[in-house]
Amino acid sequence: MLTRLPLICFVVSVTAIAADLTPERYWNTALPNTPMPNSLRHLFTPDFTDEKSTDVQVGKGGVNVNAGKGKPGGGTAVNVGKGGVYVDTGKGKGTHVSVSGGKGPGGGVGVHTGKPGKRTDVGVGKGGVIVHTRHKGRPVYVGVTPGPNPFVYNYAASETQLHDDPKAALFFLEKDMVPGKAMNLRFNAEDGYDGKTAFLPRGEAETVPFGSEKFSEILNTFSVKPGSEEAEMMKKTIEECEAKRVGGEEKYCATSLESMVDFSVSKLGKYHVRAVSTEVAEKNAPMQKYKIAAPGIKKLSDDKSVVCHKQKYPFAVFYCHKAMMTSVYAVPLEGENGLRAKAVAVCHKNTSAWNPNHLAFKVLKVKPGTVPVCHFLPETHVVWFSY
């Protein structure tokens, strides 16, 4: 049986609901001239559904919310203040309704049901009503051994990582980026979960604890056993987010698409910025030999960029860093089995501040600061640049 909240009439101006609360709508508002890469778009549409549902009807009289099964006795609290209206039903695990004003992307009506990362979200705005249901349970851990992130440049590589990490093959020298050059590559190497770790809306992500001082609370939130490999991976991600910067490089861990957009826009602007990712024509493509196709290598940028690397975490978290003295390339590749890829490569012209035992130097057998070091981006990573 569905429980029904009382009909609540809100006095909300047209401008208050003019902007939708969904991350996709936020992207279109903040970056009207920038297409969203498929690698990010896929993080909003995990291919599973929740049997429980939430129905929201929006009409002239107000907002009526029918939530799924809930425990009786939770009660309903309604708070109306300067910031808008907030409704909470049931001991922190029920349905949350928020109404806020303003002309920006934060205005509108938002409904969230369930625990963080497992709930149904409803955004009401100018475009209508959009419903998005996420995973009923936490993401499935697939047992990837924790190790240094090869895209955090102050980490030294282990021998195990040098020989066993598929990402090791992604590093190469700029002089080798020529048609006909062959490289053994695997782009979509497993990121440590089942690949379905989706974005949380920013309003929800900001309520989920994140930080080493809150680690016990984080494990409890996602029902992760302390000391498990999954817990160690989560801990490593948080440590990387909190680690010191390399050579004055600006970095930021984005726990939502909206916060990633804000960081990138703050560094590059919004009107002449692009975001691109590697695209491979086949899912779960094996490690194989690829050749750089001719012609087609194209330099996209030769100045500053923001590179965002997807982390191992129960929901989508990206380690972003503003990189100076970098070149961004689009590189067409063809695998030995005929598989084609549109790869994105980033070349770092100044590596003098990197750890001298970083994975790239071990793979390429060069020293820091001597030659430009390049790497292809895995499919789930994104590079932003000005044009």
Structural domain includes residue 325? yes
Shared-domain flag, residues 187 and 157: yes
124 plus 163 within the same structural domain: no
CA 192, CA 335: separation in Å to the nearest integer?
25
Strand partners, 329: 299, 345
Provide the pLDDT for residue 270: 87
Ramachandran class of 109: left when φ > 0, alpha when ψ lies in -120 to 50, beta otherwise: beta
pLDDT in tens, 330-381: 999 999 989 999 999 999 999 998 889 888 898 899 999 999 999 999 888 9
> Do 284 and 359 belong to one domain?
yes
The C-alpha atoms of residue 273 and residue 54 are separated, in whole angstroms, by 37
Q: Report the pLDDT value the prediction gives residue 345, as an integer from 0 to 100.
A: 95
Q: Are residues 185 and 125 in the same domain?
A: no
For residue 245, the model assigns a pLDDT of 80
Answer yes or no: do 115 and 197 share one domain. Answer: no
pTM: 0.70
- pLDDT at residue 252 tops 90: yes
* Average pLDDT taken over every residue of the chain: 73
Q: What is the pLDDT of residue 12?
A: 32
Are residues 127 and 264 located together in one domain of the fold?
A: no
- Mean of pLDDT values over 298-308: 92
Per-residue confidence band for 189, with pLDDT thresholds at 50, 70 and 90 = low
Structural domain span for residue 329: 149-201+245-386
Confidence of residue 235 (pLDDT cuts 50, 70, 90): very high
The pLDDT assigned to 190 comes to 52
**Interstrand relation of 382-386 and 373-376 (parallel, antiparallel or unpaired):** unpaired
- Please check whether residue 38 lies inside any domain of the structure: no
Check residue 283 and give its pLDDT. 76
CA distance 118 to 98: 18
Closest CA to 309 of 146, 152, 198, 187: 152
Domain-located, residue 381? yes
Tokens encoding 23 = 């991350």
Beta-carbon contacts of 164 under 8 Å, excluding residues fewer than 6 positions away, are none
Average pLDDT over residues 25-33: 91
pLDDT score for 148: 65
Bridge partner residues of 76 (DSSP)? 89
Nearest Cα to 335, choosing from 173, 183, 168? 183
Do 168 and 285 reside in the same domain of the chain? yes
Number of domain units in the chain: 2
70 belongs to a structural domain: no
Residue 294 pLDDT level (bands cut at 50, 70, 90): confident
- Give tens-digit pLDDT for 45-67: 443 333 333 333 334 444 444 44
Q: Please give the average per-residue pLDDT across 231-236, as a whole number.
A: 92
SS3 of the chain: the string is CCEECCCECCCCCHHHHCCCCCHHHHHHHHCCCCCCCHHHHHHHCCCCCCCCCCEEEEECCEEEEEECCCCCCCCEEEEEECCEEEEEECCCCCEEEEEECCCCCCCEEEEEECCCCCCEEEEEECCEEEEEECCCCCCCECCCCCCCCCCCCCCCCCHHHHHHCHHHHHEEEHHHCCCCCEEEECCCCCCCECCCCCCCCHHHHCCCCCCHHHHHHHHHHCCCCCCCHHHHHHHHHHHHHHCCCCCCCEEEEECCHHHHHHHHHHHHCCCCEEEECCEECCCCCCCEEEEECCCCCEEEECCCEEEEEECCCCCCCEEEEEECCEEEEEEEEEECCCCEEEEEEEEECCCCCCCCCCHHHHHHCCCCCCCCEEEECCCCCEEEEEC
Residue 173 has pLDDT above 90, yes or no: yes
> Looking at the domain assignment, is residue 231 inside a domain?
no
**In a shared domain, residues 191 and 314:** yes
Single-letter amino acid code for the residue at 86? Y
Query: Could you tell me the pLDDT band of residue 152, with boundaries at 50, 70 and 90?
Result: confident
pLDDT at 60: 44
pLDDT given for residue 249 in this prediction: 77
The model's pLDDT over 70-112, given as tens digits with 9 standing for 90+, comes to 444 444 444 444 444 444 444 444 444 444 444 433 444 444 4
With bands split at pLDDT 50, 70 and 90, how would you rate the model's confidence at 2?
very low
Please check whether residues 170 and 310 belong to one and the same domain. yes
Q: Tell me: the pLDDT tens digits for 102-129?
A: 443 344 444 444 555 444 444 444 433 3
Q: What's the CA gap between 136 and 203, in Å, rounded?
A: 19
Assigned domain for 210 exists: no
Q: What is the mean pLDDT of residues 177-201?
A: 77
334 and 257 housed in the same domain: yes
Residues paired with residue 88 on neighbouring β-strands, in sequence order: 77, 96
Q: Which of 9-13, 185-189, 222-226 has the highest mean pLDDT?
A: 222-226
Q: What percent of the chain has pLDDT over 70?
A: 64
152 within 8 A of 158, measured Cβ to Cβ: no
**pLDDT for residue 168 is more than 60:** yes
Position 253 in a domain = yes
- Tell whether 135 and 274 lie within a shared domain: no
**Mean pLDDT, residues 194-204 taken together:** 79
Closest to 254 measured CA to CA, from 118, 382, 151: 382
Mean pLDDT of the 279-306 span = 88
Cα–Cα distance between 162 and 145 in angstroms, integer? 14
- Quote the CA–CA distance of 64 and 196 in Å, as a whole number: 31
Same domain? 115 vs 263: no
Residue 96 belongs to some domain of the structure: no
d(C-alpha 379, C-alpha 92), whole Å: 36
pLDDT of residue 46: 44
Cα separation, 37 vs 116, whole angstroms: 25
